Chains A and B, each alone.
Chain A
Amino acid sequence: MRDKFQTWVDAVCEQVRFWPDRKAIARELRVHYDDHVRDLLRLGRPRELAEERALEAMGNAQEVGWALDRVHKPWLGWLWEASRALVLLLAVLVVVTPREYTTLSTLRDRTRAELDWEEPPASAARVELEHGTLYVLPGEIREQNGHTAAEVHLWIQMRDPLAANGGVNTWFFSWRDDQGDLPRRTYDERTRTWTEGRCWDHGPPWSQGWTRFRQTMVLLLDRPPQWAELSYPPGGDWTVRVEWEAAS
């Protein structure tokens, strides 16, 4: 008889054109039918008879379906669904967007925290960029494999470096020392690689929002320098000079 009820309820739901409501309707009718069967069993009716009576009491499936279809109007149902979707969308905009912003802020802060940063000493040379500030300070000079390695400490603070560099996450700085305009190679301590050529291509690790990082570069030269100048673009907008007092 349970199958007979399913046939009955399927016939009801077939008449309801707004299909998203069918499941709830079927569930409610099922609970009702079960309640009725249980009551009849409690009154001592045999199960088969109880199920038959309960099903009869549900009425004509088609008529019930038509009546429900008149209430569950498709256009009204879809309008309701659309309004719910709109409310959901607004909720996403209102709730999730600030959360996304928070997430970005958190990520930015975390990235900042992960970067090696300490305030530059007052003696550091400084240049104001359009999108930030750069500090440089001369470091140690030492012999290395028949060359002279000269350290330059850099502190870089930038606002939106990606935008500042025309959407490219690579900055081509150029070096010039008192003997000419190039060191043979430059060393990036973060990537632990020596870069060929006169330009140093290094992109900040974080390219959205404010970022700042500290870095030591090593210039591989033929002999100890008196000074070196860093400029960007090569020979371009700004130049900052570092001078080694002890250089001979």
Chain B
Amino acid sequence: MKIDKSLMSGSTTLLILSLLAGEEMYGYQMITELARRSNQVFELKEGTLYPILHGLEAEGLVSVRERKSPEGRTRKYYRITRKGRRALDQRQEEWVTFREQVDAVVNSAAPA
């Protein structure tokens, strides 16, 4: 199922921080993992991911380190920071509130 991209754009940071809350990841891994966990619903463009990641790094929400993968390729791995975890908690709360209110409005419009 394809969804409207604008629905996703507001929650991209939340999705990325949620992915990184479990483990450190490199960019390509995030894209494949996001697609897998959302049953291929969320398809983040590669070119969109990196500006967001670099922005999160600049804000101190994620940290980066270069590491060799088991295949011997040097990759940049992103890891959520303490500040990032606090930001994630806050965004999750906002998301829950947002989702509840959207549900409330949508359900109220349903035919009796």
Contacts and interface: CB of A to CB of B under 8 A. Distances in A.
15 contacts: A28-B76, A31-B26, A31-B76, A32-B26, A32-B50, A34-B73, A39-B32, A58-B45, A59-B45, A64-B47, A67-B47, A67-B48, A71-B51, A71-B55, A71-B58
A201 to B, nearest CB: 63
A35 B28 contact: yes
B91 interface: no
Residue of A25, A28, A58, A76 with highest tally of chain B CB at under 10 A:
A28
A31 B75 contact: yes
B47 A60 contact: yes
A59 B46 contact: yes
A63 interface: yes
Size category of the B interface is 10 to 19
B46 to A, nearest CB: 5
A39 B33 CA distance: 13
Interface residues of A, number: 24
A68 interface: yes
B47 A59 contact: yes
Residue of B51, B58, B74, B75 with highest tally of chain A CB at under 10 A:
B51
A40 to B, nearest CB: 12
Interface of A: 12, 25, 28-29, 31-36, 39, 57-61, 63-64, 67-68, 70-72, 76
B54 interface: yes
A32 B47 CA distance: 10
Interface string B38-68: 0000000111101100110010000000000
B50 A68 contact: yes
A32 B27 contact: yes
Contacts of B75: 31
Contact of A31 (B47, B55, B58, B73): B73
Contacts of B51: 64, 67-68, 70-71
